[in-house]
Amino acid sequence: MAQLTDEQVRTFARDGYIVLRNVVPEPLLAAADNEIDHATTDEGWSRPGNRAWFPVRRQVPRCDALLRDSPAFALAEQLVSPNVLDYANNHIQVAITVPPWPYVTGGYHLDGYDGDPGPPRSPPRSFTMVAAVLLTDQRGVAAGNLWVWPGSHLSHQELFRDQGTWVFHRAGGRSSLLDPPLTLSSPVPVTGNRGDVLLAHYLLGHAKGGNTAEHVRRTVYFRLAVPGHAERWERTFLDAWTEYPPIQRMLRDGYGQA
């Protein structure tokens, strides 16, 4: 079985994400592409821009297999062992960016918040980790890449400790609406090739990017959670490693940075 290296675990602890190379084999990638091709035949899917499709898992078994039938799921669980992971909801996200779409992000967000800022009505629909499978090469900085703010998972932890775990509700999950805005490191694009896998902490700030490459960008996202996450979500906001025992041990033993 494929194993994460200590360096990869340290990188996840420091940056809040890692990209694993050549995880998903080509037969699984081709089957998922074929499934998406048959489901996105509407003319709107061919127009320039960014689109997200959220099919129920049973509707897209070939996309589901990208995670379940490759080493990707087992690699993700190594970050939370002896905890296990399950789907945080019953859908999968297929993100498609058709060029030319020279979009430049103006800020990041956290998933699971209602779009309209205002008084909180319910907890955020948070989870433990996102896993993403790249179906297209995304080597350049404008190939439809996801953009992330390295280390922002820890900045958010400190924000929640200082201002409470509900502070992001007032901003609809978007950094640009925080008052005052949270100062973070500069964003970077997630780059990789077809078959690579991104694993990212829920609290990592992220945003979509533009696509001026010659090909359509496709990425399939999976939201994963340690069972019982909904009951402990506030703890995971105040301590980013609540559900990550391997990183807890690494930090306790002095081998990581956080």
Domain ranges of the chain: 6-240
Q: Give the Cα separation of 202 and 149 in Å (integer).
A: 12
Confidence of residue 256 (pLDDT cuts 50, 70, 90): low
258 within 8 A of 154, measured Cβ to Cβ: yes
Q: What pairing do the DSSP bridges indicate for beta strands 93-98 and 146-148?
A: unpaired
E-strand spans in the chain?
17-20, 49-53, 86-87, 93-98, 129-134, 146-148, 188-189, 197-201, 206-208, 217-225
Confidence of residue 258 (pLDDT cuts 50, 70, 90): very low
- What mean pLDDT, rounded, does the chain reach? 93
User: In this predicted model, what pLDDT tens digit does every residue of 33-42 receive, in sequence order?
Assistant: 999 999 988 8
User: In this predicted model, what pLDDT tens digit does every residue of 93-149 receive, in sequence order?
Assistant: 999 999 999 988 878 999 998 766 666 678 999 999 999 999 999 998 899 999 999
Please tell me the chain's helix, strand, coil percentages from 3-state DSSP, rounded to the nearest 5: 35, 20, 45
User: In this predicted model, what pLDDT tens digit does every residue of 42-77 receive, in sequence order?
Assistant: 877 889 999 999 999 999 999 999 999 999 999 999
234 within 8 A of 183, measured Cβ to Cβ: no
Classified by CATH at the fold level, domain 6-240 comes out as Jelly Rolls (2.60.120)
